[in-house]
Chains A and B, each alone.
Chain A
Amino acid sequence: MLPDFPKSRKELSEQLRLRLLLRVQEKSIFGRIRRQIQQNEGKHFSFEQILDVGKRIVNEGYEEMRIPIQFKLEEIPKLVGDALFEKLDGLADDIAAQTSQFGFRKMEEACRQAGTAFDAGGQPFTKEMFLQAEEAREWGFDPQTHKPEGIYVAHPDTAKRMHDLWKSWEQDRDFMKKVEELRSRKYEAWRDRESCRKLVN
């Protein structure tokens, strides 16, 4: 064996792992959701999914994620400082991309199961579609400010288009009235749901 320094390498490895994790969280929308459960035993998990009517129990195993990474022997001695971080960040970006793809796939499946999915079928997004999609969604509100809570996730190009569209839609009083009516209905529905957080009989 060549002379080595395992103790320090282990600590450095942990530092790098943390950097990687934080970068993944920063780059992936799903990584950024801070809600997580780390499983310490077993290989399966189950959770409840709320459907249109009632709940279902989803039993699943983990899905493997593979990120190819290559080191050239002559490259290794130079993998320090910025060069090392660059390599690590590239790896993190790949993980983030896969995490996002996986997350979107799972979200689509879950939305279909729950009946909240809406497919525009490749057509340009219209006010009617917006109202229809929002109608299907369950809204949450901040208990203090009573403002709607929610995150829109979109490709940057789509997000810009949506933003521009919204500016023009805001000028349409009829549409905004419908949005307000929808918000009121959703608020009432949310209050009804919230009022169920109690012990009865």
Chain B
Amino acid sequence: MIERVVENWLINANERQYQIPFCQVLAAEGETVKYISPHGVMEQGKDVITEGTDGSIRAYQLKNGKITLKKWREFKGEIDELVELPISHPSVHSKKPHQPFLVTNGIVADTVITRIDSANKIWKKHNPKALRLIQGNELISRFVKAHGSFMPRHPKQFGKFLELIAGAGRDPFDKEKFSSFLESILTIEGKGIVSGREAARLISSAVLLTSIIVQGCEREDNHWAVFEAWTVTASYILAIASKNAITEKWWSVSFDLCETAATRALEGLCTECAENKTHFTQGDPFTDGTFTPMRVIVIAGTLSALSLYHRLRREQWKGESFLQDFLVRYLPNNGIWGESAAPYITMAALELEQHGIHTSSERLIGQFLNMILKINEVKGRGLPNTYYEPESAYRLLSGMDRYNSEIFYGSSYVAESLVEFLARRLLRRMIAYFWESITHIDFVWFRPEMDWEWFRWRAESGSLESRMPNMPQSWTALLDAAENGKPDVPELLRARPWFAPLFCIVFPHRFGVGLLRLIECSIREIR
């Protein structure tokens, strides 16, 4: 049954969809992944470059479906580049010729195999290593071998897995259910310690399973859901690594693969948005007006997080100018659903600053803080907290969540971080204006007891801390804390601050003073 699931997934995947799990298979087999074409677009014919255990360099080009003679003729030029052009990549130092591979999840027609044999003789002048083929059957058996023994075997686990596959489509990604599934796969619960080798195997399976689960979302081009799924998997890799104090060599490749898959999904979202054929509307026009303003925030926040991710990695990103235009034009018409919009709004504000649009950035945060205070300082239901994501917050506020009586007034999970944001911009008068209202709410923050639990969807241990704002509050002390306070976040996040913007968008309940300090501090360092 498991093998059939893998087979079914692999046969139906396109080359972009199986690229990440294929890299995971190569890594599981001992190859070191040196390069993955970041946007799914092959460069010089090479989608993936690896180094084998013997030091040999291998280059792969991925295709999907049956390779007929007609198809072969269409991409023959790419294969010429794959075989003939030497690898020019900073992480590849070997001067020796590389081993080229053509990979497909289908079969290769006999006529094409004959052509390849002939072509190998011609290519020999440039590269003595002949092109090798990896076809569907071999691919399936390598996937099953690499992951099979760690696939969900328990009926409950397997049931959850199938539910996730069936549920993945146009809806927002079910992070809660997915996290619970990942926790069972990664055996993260309990006190047992997992060795590095064991963790690497578990992680490798989690990556493959994620690919299978998100296939439905990819089919629908639900980039947001795909991004969230991969970011959750990346977070759980950090969780298992942190919990078991596992060195990077066992998990960094898988983590990087997840990060690549997550950012690639956002690239897809950016491309779709840049085309902007529908003014960011979608589906039934009778109902979409309610959701368009929320969609604008989600787009603004996720794409800003992507841009900040590239900035923090000191990488150029081609979507920057589109994003700037989008933020300026559309963000003023945003529809805040609750406190879980804070990471989205804050990432957008930080991105605006990168384009020198400071006034809009500060106004955005000021207006958001004002909204929280206005709603949460007076008796009433209040603004849904960070545990309510866009759809659940909307359902609650619109009365669709009929049996939920939770109220939120009198406290805020994000107000303190917004105040610090404004303090770092020396907006003393604005904060002074807000302070009276601020003192009518409590600053609330959940602190996971152990670092590794930061990366879980819901921490088992930890404390909900509630603090009253100072009355009066010294500006000097506030400024000092905002500018010099240490980011109280796990070491694994401090070591890779570029992941923080993505993480806080997907785990909005972890967004707080510590994460924002880390992101802002890291942005300052790259200037």
Stretch at the interface among A33-41, A79-87, A124-132: A33-41
Contact, CB under 8 Å: B459 / A41 = yes
**Per a CB cutoff under 8 Å, which of B403, B449, B509 touches A15?**
B403
**Closest chain A residue to B440 by CB distance?**
A197
Query: Which residue in chain A gives the minimum CB-CB distance to B457?
Result: A41
Query: Is the pair B462, A41 in contact by a Cβ cutoff of 8 Å?
Result: yes
Residue of A nearest to B429 (CB): A199
Say yes or no: A199 contacts B435, CB within 8 Å: yes
- On chain A, the residues within 8 Å of B428 by CB distance are 199
For the complex, is B106 an interface residue (Cβ under 8 Å from A)?
no
Are A197 and B463 in contact, with the CB atoms below 8 A? no
Q: How far is the CA of A47 from the CA of B410 in the complex (A)?
A: 13
CA gap between A48 and B442 in the complex, in Å? 10
**Is A196's CB under 8 angstroms from B463's CB?**
no
Known A-B contacts A18-B405, A41-B448, A44-B463; the reply to A198 vs B509 at CB < 8 A is no
Query: Does A201 lie within 8 Å of B474, measured CB to CB?
Result: yes
Chain A residues in 8 Å Cβ range of B458: 40-41
Query: When chains A and B are docked, how far (Å) is the Cα of A59 from the Cα of B466?
Result: 10
A61 to B327, CA, bound (A): 44
Separation in Å of the B255 CB from the closest CB of chain A? Answer: 24
Which of chain B's residues have a CB closer than 8 A to the CB of A41? 446, 448, 458-460, 462, 464, 509
- For residue A140, give the distance in angstroms from its CB to the closest CB of chain B: 12
- B471: chain A residues at CB < 8 Å are 193, 196-198
Among A14, A39, A200: residue with most chain B CB under 10 A: A200
User: Are B476 and A42 in contact, with the CB atoms below 8 A?
Assistant: no
- Determine if B281 is an interface residue (Cβ-Cβ < 8 Å): no
Q: List CB contacts (< 8 Å) of A38-84 with chain B.
A: 38-48, 50, 55, 59
Q: Smallest Cβ distance from A24 to chain B, in angstroms?
A: 11
Complex CA distance for A14 and B462, rounded to whole angstroms: 28
Q: How far is the CA of A198 from the CA of B429 in the complex (A)?
A: 11
Min Cβ gap B326→A in Å is 32
A200: nearest chain-B partner, CB-CB: B472
A31 CA to B449 CA in the complex, in Å? 29
A22 within 8 A of B: yes
Q: Does B492 contact A (CB under 8 A)?
A: no
Q: Would B449 and A199 count as touching, CB distance under 8 A? A: no
Q: How far is the CB of A63 from chain B (nearest CB, A)?
A: 15
Contact residue among B439, B466, B473 (Cβ-Cβ distance under 8 Å from A37)? B466
Which residues in window 451-483 of B have CB below 8 A to A? 458-468, 471-476, 478
B379 within 8 A of A: yes
Smallest CB–CB gap between B452 and chain A, Å? 14
| A201 proximity list for chain B (CB < 8 A) | 474-476
Contact flags A113-144 to B (C-beta < 8 A → 1, else 0): 00000000000000000000000000000000
List 9 extra interface pairs beyond A21-B405, A45-B464, A46-B465, CB under 8 A: A36-B407, A40-B446, A42-B461, A45-B463, A46-B463, A48-B467, A48-B468, A50-B468, A199-B472
A-binding residues in B (CB < 8 A): 379, 387, 402-403, 405-407, 409-411, 428, 431-432, 435-436, 439-440, 442, 444, 446, 448-449, 458-468, 471-476, 478, 509
Would you list 22 pairs from A and B whose C-beta atoms are within 8 A, ordered by A residue?
A: A18-B402, A35-B407, A35-B410, A37-B411, A39-B446, A39-B464, A40-B387, A42-B446, A42-B460, A42-B463, A43-B460, A43-B461, A43-B462, A44-B463, A45-B463, A48-B466, A48-B467, A197-B436, A197-B472, A198-B435, A199-B428, A199-B472
Listed from nearest, the 6 A-B pairs whose CB atoms lie closest are A42-B462, A14-B403, A44-B463, A196-B471, A199-B432, A45-B464
Question: Interface residues, chain A, CB within 8 Å of chain B?
Answer: 14-15, 17-18, 21-22, 34-48, 50, 55, 59, 193, 196-201
